[in-house]
Structure 1
Amino acid sequence: MKENSVNSKRMLNEQTIILVTDDDDDDRYFLRQAIERTVSGVTVLEAKNGEEALNLLAGRLIHLVILDMNMPGLNGLEILSFIRLHADLYLTPAVMLSTSDQASLVADAYKKGINCYIKKPAVIWEYDQIAAALKTCFLTISP
Structure 2
Amino acid sequence: MNYAKTVIFLADDDEDDRYFLRQSLQEVYPSVRVVEAQDGSELLNLLDAWSQQPAPQPVHLILLDWNMPKLNGLEALMAIKASPWLRHIPTVILSTSAESTQQNRAYRSGASGYLQKPASYAHLNQLVRSVSSCLVGAAAD
Native 8 Å contact 1:22 1:71 kept in 2: yes
1:38, 1:135 within 8 Å by CA — same for their partners in 2? no
- 2:80 equivalent to 1:83: yes
Percent identity between the two aligned chains: 40
Asked if 1:118 is matched to 2:115, the reply is yes
Match of residue 63 from structure 2 = 66
Q: Find the counterpart in structure 2 of residue 103 from structure 1.
A: 100
Q: Equivalents in 1 of 2:63, 2:40: separation in Å?
A: 12
Residue aligned with 1:28, SS: helix
Matched AA of 1:52? E
1:49 aligns with 2:39: yes
Partner SS state of residue 137, structure 2: coil
Which residue identity does 2:14 align to in structure 1?
D
TM-score, with structure 2 as normaliser:
0.87
**Structure 1 unaligned regions, length at least 5:** 1-10
**Kept in 2: contact 1:39–1:135 (CA 8 A):** no
Aligned length: 132
Show the counterpart of 2:137: 140
1:126 deviates by 1.2
**Cα distance in 2 between the residues matched to 1:37 and 1:75:** 27
Asked if 1:38 is matched to 2:28, the reply is yes
**TM-score normalized with structure 1 length:** 0.86
Give runs of aligned pairs for residues 6-17 of structure 1, distance below 5 A: 14-17=4-7
Report the residue type matching 1:33 in the other structure.
Answer: Q
Following the alignment from structure 1 to structure 2, what is the Cα–Cα distance between the partners of residues 41 and 122? 25
Tell me whether 110-119 or 130-139 shows the greater mean CA deviation.
130-139
What SS is found at the alignment partner of 1:140? helix
CA RMSD of aligned residues (A): 1.8
CA distance in 2, matches of 1:85, 1:14: 29
Q: Which residue of 2 aligns with 1:8?
A: none
Q: SS at the partner of 1:117?
A: strand
In the TM superposition, structure 1's runs of 4+ consecutive aligned residues that sit over 3 Å from their partners are none
